[in-house]
Amino acid sequence: MGLFTGKKPSKAGKTGNTAALPRHIAIIMDGNGRWAKKRGLPRTAGHAVGVETFRTIATYCKNIGIDYLTIYAFSTENWKRPKEEVEAIMGLLEKYLYEAIEKMEKDGIRLRVMGDTAPLSEKLKKLIAETEMISDRLNGFQVNLCLNYGGRAEIVRAAQKYAEDYKSGKVSRLTEEAFSEYMYSAGIPDPDLIIRPSGELRFSNFLLWQSAYSEYYFTDVLWPDFSEKELDKAIESYKKRSRRFGAIESK
């Protein structure tokens, strides 16, 4: 079956050869509302379909050998949306986490939430804590859900925590590597490939620190229509790129 629930996943396609595969893929899920509007449906319907797309893509990533998948599920700015839409999104998250708790060990999938969980409901916080405990017992493919997440807020939080440790004498010299350990993504490799569906050409405050050398892939496809074939296209584009990390390409 799919990631925790859903349809039976497709077999790995042309990306089945793991050579040159990105180890870590991050995706800005975008276009749910527009997808629903085009069909005369409420925006909440788009979010529901978007969750199913997420299941499909996450399962496919696991099947083809990706190690990490990070999904931008809810930003710090998304609280500005209509109350009923926010409540619907939180309801979908609760449902997904309940299903995850039941099947994470069976499916061998770790789940980590990245973001400020303080404003979330007590029920969501409890579910998140339970998924973290289960993940600690597992190895292998990991899904990171960015929830109430903002790249700038993450950097400010990291700076504050470093300052506290510096003041107490726990740390001394600040380096990029040391600072990375204060990010939500501590212990996770930076994303190799970041995908933005829906035709928008901006970062939207996503993984600002971690994306310094990430490859970006933009597509006009709205997230609910994003398929395994679309992911294959993104990966094939990634494979053709030369990642020099500031150095000169060797001949």
Tell me the catalytic residues. Answer: 30, 78
């209509």: which residue's tokens? 82
Is-contact 199 223, C-beta < 8 A?
A: no
Is-contact 151 207, C-beta < 8 A?
A: yes
Distance CA 30, CA 46 (A): 10
Is-contact 124 97, C-beta < 8 A?
A: yes
Distance CA 201, CA 196 (A): 8
């939500």: which residue's tokens? 184
Instruction: Give the helix ranges, DSSP H, for the chain.
Output: 32-38, 43-64, 83-107, 122-135, 151-167, 176-180, 228-239
From residue 211, how far is each of 46, 71, 148, 243, 249 by CA, in Å? Answer: 28, 14, 18, 13, 21
